[in-house]
Amino acid sequence: MSAYLDYQAAKPVDPRVFEAMKPYFNEDFGNPSSLHNYGYRATNTLEESRRKIAEFINAPSPDNIIFTSGATESNNLGVIGAALRNKKKGNHIIISEIEHISILNIGKFLERQGFIVSKVPVDRFGIININKLERLITDKTILISVSTASNEIGSLQPVEEIVAIAQKKKIWFHSDAVASESTIPIDVQKVPFDLLTLSSNDIYGPRGIGALYLKKGVRVNPIIIGGGQEMGIRSGSENMPGIAGFAKAAEIMKTEINEEATRLKVLRDKLIREILKIPKSYLNGHPEQRTPNNANFRFDYIEGESLLLSLKDEKVEVATGSACSSKTLEPSHTLISCGLLHEEAHGSLLLSLGRYTEEKDIDKIVEVLPGIVRRLRILSPLTSSDLLKKLKEEEN
Ligand code: PMP
């Protein structure tokens, strides 16, 4: 069995969720728009599911939840929909430098439509500078979009402070909560986001379904036009098995999140402690202010990709960064924004833990990684002569 340490890229569907979805494929397959009994039952499931997603984030009403096809679509609907809705008020949007690629590319799209997009920088731990954010605001700013946490380095953003600034300046605040929703409880009444992106798979539900939370009074222009489902905000026949699965996943996550986060933090801390014993290895991101399931390292003189492939041969499955950007040869924009050099950013290894990670998975990587790092460093032309001499002595 492999040790799977790439939960940030994909999570298995919880078997309890899978069971809950089954009836909606071929028994209760109705369309909520139909007026007969099948349609009636589908409407009940749809509204019951909406209620469970609202409860998951403590939203005051199920009407605050719009189902989408996933986080990418929620980000599109949230940011583009809000920009279009408010374009008479202003054309300026602020995002962070380390947003997920979907937000960065939405920013580029909006720039082509005449909007101005500013990017707030982060410190070396990947946390945005709140003063710089405040200074970027102009009287044309209509939206701030900063994720709750980085999907690559796990750094937690000061969302309470961003909310306070946005409220003071009467600017909407959108946040992509995908990277933290499986480990950090969300309460939109305590932290009153205007718009929030949620994904089902990131809480062990199926892929292809997500949601956008809209605070009361916040409306966005639709970007998918059609039959007017989802209160006219997101057309298209509802993905009922997905919606029922997402709701079940949210119900489970709501009750288990604290216990799960505590367990993962213990495993993650052991992982960090042990891996940092490897000479010239470093933790990327903030030592404490990070999601409980994220550990991201870099190792001098070697590339993350070679580490990933060597680990794969040992049946330890890891990533070098965001799965959505893994096909580009560019170094991680997040690590570059944290001030790393290109060669340092190329040396990173992203280990993300989840519901089914066990201590033996941590023990496995801790057992094999030091040898792999040593072997690769002996082969690397970048390794300093002093270290090379020492490594060769250790080998003999
Ligand atoms: N936002 C973040 C922070 C992500 O990590 C991801 C990828 N899991 C997405 C958005 C996009 O999600 P999806 O590919 O499911 O639409």
Q: Which of 9, 97, 75, 94 is nearest to 334 (CA)?
A: 97
> What stretch of H or E contains 297?
strand 294-299
Q: What residues act catalytically? A: 324
Indicate whether residue 331 lines ligand 1 (CB < 6 A).
no
Task: Give, in order, the Cα–Cα distances in Å from 228 to each of 9, 33, 44, 61, 238.
Answer: 32, 10, 18, 20, 11
**Ligand 1 atom 14 nearest Cα:** 72
The domain that contains 305 carries what CATH number?
3.90.1150.10
137 & 250 share domain:
yes
* CA 320 – ligand 1 centroid, Å: 16
Indicate whether residue 6 lines ligand 1 (CB < 6 A).
no
Q: In this structure, which long-range contacts are made by residues 104-109, counting pairs with CB atoms below 8 Å and at least 24 apart in sequence?
A: 104/333, 106/75, 106/76, 106/79, 106/80, 107/79, 109/80
| Closest approach atom of ligand 1 to CA 73 | 16
84 & 148 share domain:
yes
300 & 232 share domain:
no
C-alpha span between 306 and 329 (Å, rounded): 13
Per-residue pLDDT of the chain (396 residues; tens, 9 = 90+): 899 999 999 999 999 999 999 999 999 999 999 999 999 999 999 999 999 999 999 999 999 999 999 999 999 999 999 999 999 999 999 999 999 999 999 999 999 999 999 999 999 999 999 999 999 999 999 999 999 999 999 999 999 999 999 999 999 999 999 999 999 999 999 999 999 999 999 999 999 999 999 999 999 999 999 999 999 999 999 999 999 999 999 999 999 999 999 999 999 999 999 999 999 999 999 999 999 999 999 999 999 999 999 999 999 999 997 766 666 668 899 999 999 998 889 889 999 999 999 999 999 999 999 999 999 999 988 888 888 888 888 777
Range of the domain at 386: 3-7+257-395
The domain that contains 38 carries what CATH number?
3.40.640.10
26 & 81 share domain:
yes
Indicate whether residue 199 lines ligand 1 (CB < 6 A).
yes
pLDDT at 87: 96
Indicate whether residue 147 lines ligand 1 (CB < 6 A).
yes
272 & 247 share domain:
no
Query: Do the Cβ atoms of 147 and 97 come closer than 8 Å?
Result: no
For residue 65, the cross-strand partners are: 213
* CA 298 – ligand 1 centroid, Å: 23
249 & 198 share domain:
yes
* CA 149 – ligand 1 centroid, Å: 12
Indicate whether residue 102 lines ligand 1 (CB < 6 A).
yes
**Ligand 1 pocket, mutate which of 11, 100, 195, 239 (most atoms under 8 A from CB):** 100
pLDDT at 387: 84
Considering its fold, how many domains does the chain have in total? 2
235 & 262 share domain:
no
201 & 307 share domain:
no
DSSP string, 163-192: HHHHHHHT-EEEEE-TTTTTTS---TTTS-
Indicate whether residue 378 lines ligand 1 (CB < 6 A).
no
273 & 241 share domain:
no
Which of 254, 285, 300 lies at the terminal end of a domain, its last residue?
Answer: 254
* CA 212 – ligand 1 centroid, Å: 13
215 & 300 share domain:
no
DSSP code, position 332: P
* CA 182 – ligand 1 centroid, Å: 13
* CA 74 – ligand 1 centroid, Å: 10
Indicate whether residue 68 lines ligand 1 (CB < 6 A).
no
Residues ≥6 apart with Cβ < 8 Å to 83: 93, 110, 113, 115, 142, 143
Indicate whether residue 180 lines ligand 1 (CB < 6 A).
no
What residue type is assigned to position 167 of the chain?
Q
192 & 306 share domain:
no
Which of 234, 254, 274 lies at the terminal end of a domain, its last residue?
Answer: 254
* CA 108 – ligand 1 centroid, Å: 17
242 & 288 share domain:
no
| Closest approach atom of ligand 1 to CA 179 | 3
pLDDT at 327: 63
Indicate whether residue 70 lines ligand 1 (CB < 6 A).
yes
Which of 231, 254, 277 lies at the terminal end of a domain, its last residue?
Answer: 254
| Closest approach atom of ligand 1 to CA 178 | 3
